[in-house]
Structures are given as structure tokens and as C-alpha cells.
Structure 1
Amino acid sequence: MSRLIRYARRTILSSSSIFSKTQFHCLQCHLSHGGTPSVQSRNATLAFLFRSRPYSTGVITKSPFEANILRILRSEIDYQSDYAPPHQPVTKFNSFAVEDRAGEQWMTMNGKFGDSEDIKIEATMFDGFVSVPRVGDDATGEDTRLHISVIVDISKRDGPETVEFVCSAWPDALEIHNIYVFSTSRDNKLVRPYIGPHFGKLSGELRRTLREFLEARGVNDELSVFLHEYMLNKDRIELVRWLQNLKYFVEK
């Protein structure tokens, strides 16, 4: 048994000695050439280190593929942050309080009209576009108009009734599509509403009156311009957040 222990001890010391000589050789090459060891030399040294010292398994290394992904993600985050850095989302627009929904494709606005109505606006990030001809005598080609879906709920504080406007926000105008009128029952369940006709099928006078109804409550073309500016900034914020979350996942 003592002979076996002495043999094992000599083997361990021999391995340590070989490793020390290997380290010394790499260091000697480094000093003599005035530069850093090659990638192959470093990898060979690291591989020998982990073979010779199995207790170093706690060290976590990334594969070349993962390291390349991280490099690209960091570069993209830096580019997006420098090229078009987003600013802090605004929290107020006219009489509305603006609530950003971080990590989501929506934002919410809340307001009041008089002493009897609550107004809630929910808007998507850009969810579509249309191509339109360029204007002007020498204009050629097409321009792109981005689209935002908007839902406006106007409810009475002293009753269960709510009027909901389903709209499109274009860069310079708000377009109404449908109007729902519904109420909640005593057990707070939503009563399924009759959706009514498309807004475009209503009489001209009724369409004009309903637009004035919304405009009096601050839901107008100016709101559309604000939403497009807000969503341009939110799009940059969410892109950087998405890139960072992806980087954190790969780093773990």
C-alpha cells in the first residue's frame, strides 16, 4: 500500500512539474517575441490546466459561437444607443396622463371630461402601413404611412354605460372605424354589444357630430401626431430592451 501511495505521489508531482514547464515555455515565447501567445497556445495551455486540475470545473466559459453572438449583440446595443438614443417616455399629453407599458406593444392614456366622464385610450405600437403616391410636380415613387390602432373608451361615472370608439391613428389624422355602445351587468360581466354599422356608412351629419364629440374630449388629429412621435421613441426603447434581454439570456 505504501508503495502505491509513493507511486501516486510521484505521478502527481510529475504532472505538476510538466505543467510548470509548459507554463514557463509559453511565458518564454511571449517575452522573446514581444507579443501575446497565439490562440492555439493559449487554448492548449487552458486545456492542459483543466486536465491537470480537475477541481477547476467551476469556471464557466462560452463557446466561440456564443461569444460571437454576445459580441454582435453588444455592438448592436451600442449602435442603437448612439445612433438614435431613446429618451424617457413622457407622462402627460394635454389633459391625459400617459402610462407606458414597458415590454409590451401597448400604451395607455387616462383622462376626464367634466365631472361625469372617464376617458381611457389604449394604442398599439406600429401595426401596419399603407403606401401612398408622393405629392408634388416632380415627385416619383411612393411614401409609407405607418398605422396605429387606437381604442377610446368613454364611460359615465354614475352608470354602467360605455361608448367605445375603434380608430386608426395616421401620422396626421385620426380615423374612426366603429362605435360600440355597451354596459356591464350587476355582477360586473360585460354585456355583449351590438357592434353597429361601420362608421363610414353613417350619415354625413352623424359622422361630423361624432367627430366633434371626440374632439371636445381631446381625441383628435393632434393626438394622432403625438401617438406617432411617442411610438417612434417606444419602438427604439423596446428594441434596446429586447437586445439587452437576449444578451442577458446568452450570458447566463
Structure 2
Amino acid sequence: MTSSLIRTLQRASASLIRTSRPLSPHAATTRVGARTYAAEPKPEPATKSPFDSNIIRILRNEIEYQEEYAPPHQPETKFNSFTVEELRGEQVVTIKGKFGECEDIKIEATMFDGCEHVPACGDDSSGVNLRLHLSLIVDIAKGEEGDSELEFVCSAWPDCLNVEKVYMLRRSRMAARPYVGPDFRFGKWH
């Protein structure tokens, strides 16, 4: 609840700052946390109402307070029966789990690595929406210390999952037999 309020306040503050008059070239900048804010230049008469100035000041103070004293967001480390490994700065999240006694499942998912533009429909029909994409590699190892393994290379969109390639791997991760059958496509998720 608090984090969504802060995000809303940050957007409102940025919006108010952008819609107010442009800063003078002599305006100094201050750095608070990871964000940069422009210091208030000398007030110019009739360019900003006292109400707007007061709101901007209150929002800046609240944002600074939250950045300094709010605990940082900790990423999830569990999802159902899976453990989630996310290394800061990396563009890949690894999810590991077990099925039964002898099957190990490992999913490596990229952060959003592509998108396509789709026309917006409805009330916001003037804009363009982005349809985000991510890539997945799913490894399923079975047997003692992963004697044999299936590897699925997948392409994920919000409404479908495509299995692009399937490999059967041996312990050395060399492809024993590449899959030469038809493409897999899983459509609309509901």
C-alpha cells in the first residue's frame, strides 16, 4: 500500500515538475538517492501558484523520506515449490524445483528481451501498446545426477508460449539427439 502510494506520488511530482515552467539555465541540481531533482530557482512572479509550489515541496519531502528510511524491496525467493535466484545486475532469473524424487527442473528466464507494437483499442485508441516478450530455457533432468536431460528453448508472449527447440542432452550437456519433429505452439492462456 505504501509503495504504491509512493510511486503515485513520484509520478505526480514528476508530472507537476514537467508541466510547470522550464527551469532557468542557472538552476542547480541536487542528487537525492538515485534520483536527480532540480533545485528550485528563484521564484518568478505569476508562473506557479502557491498551491502548486506547496504540493511539489510536500511530494519532494515525502519522496526523500521514503528513499532514506523505507526498507529496500527484497525480491521473491520462493514461488510455489520453486526457489528463485536473481543476481543483481543480471538479465536472467533462474527458477529451480523438483518434481517427484528424481526430476530436477530449472527454468532460466530473461528479463523482457523484445517487444512488438500493437495498436491500442478502446478509449486509448490514439496510442500504441507494447506486447512484451521474454525467452525461456527449461531444463528437466531425470536420473542420478542428471544422466539424461531435456532442454526446451521457448519464446513467451503474454498470451502464448512457443517451444522453439527441444534437445535431449547427456550428462556432458552434449546433444544426444536433436528433436526434428514439428514446431510446438501453445496458444491463448486463459
TM class by shorter-chain length?
A: 0.5 to 0.7
**TM-score relative to the length of structure 2:** 0.55
Residue 34 of structure 2 is aligned to residue 77 of structure 1: yes
Structure 1 gap segments, 5+ residues each: 1-67, 212-220, 223-252
1:196 equivalenced with 2:162 (yes/no): no
Q: Percent identity?
A: 47
Q: Deviations over 1:58-80 (max 9, x none)?
A: xxxxxxxxxx9xx67x3471369
Q: What does 1:1-252 align with in structure 2 at a 5 Å threshold?
A: 74-75=31-32, 77-78=34-35, 82=63, 87-136=73-122, 139-158=125-144, 160-184=147-171, 189-197=172-180, 201-202=182-183, 207=184
Q: Distance in 1 between the 2:175 and 2:162 partners?
A: 24
Is the strand fraction higher in 1 or 2? 2
The total of aligned residue pairs comes to 130
Separation (CA, whole Å) in 1 of partners of 2:81 and 2:89: 25
Distance in structure 2 (CA, Å) of the matches to 1:192 and 1:163: 10
Letter in 2 for 1:153: D
Bigger radius of gyration, 1 or 2?
1
Q: Give the number of the structure whose residues are more often helix, by fraction.
A: 1
| 1:31-88 per-position Cα deviation (integer Å, ceiling 9, x unaligned) | xxxxxxxxxxxxxxxxxxxxxxxxxxxxxxxxxxxxx9xx67x3471369x5998721
Relative to structure 1, the CA distance from residue 109 to residue 139 in structure 2 (aligned partners, 3 Å threshold; closer, same or farther) is same
Mapped partners of 1:127, 1:191: distance in 2: 26
> For residues 162 and 36 of structure 2, what CA distance do their matches in structure 1 show?
36
CA RMSD of aligned residues (A): 3.5
Question: Relative to structure 2, which stretch is displaced further, 155-164 or 104-113?
Answer: 155-164
Q: What's the CA shift for 1:127? A: 1.3
Deviation at 1:114, TM superposition (A): 1.2
* CA contact 2:81–2:97 (8 Å) conserved in 1: yes
Stretches (4+) displaced over 6 A: 83-86
Q: Structure 2 CA distance, aligned partners of 1:103 and 1:78?
A: 18
Amino acid at match of 2:102: S
Q: Mind listing any 5+ residue stretches in structure 2 that lack a counterpart?
A: 1-27, 38-62
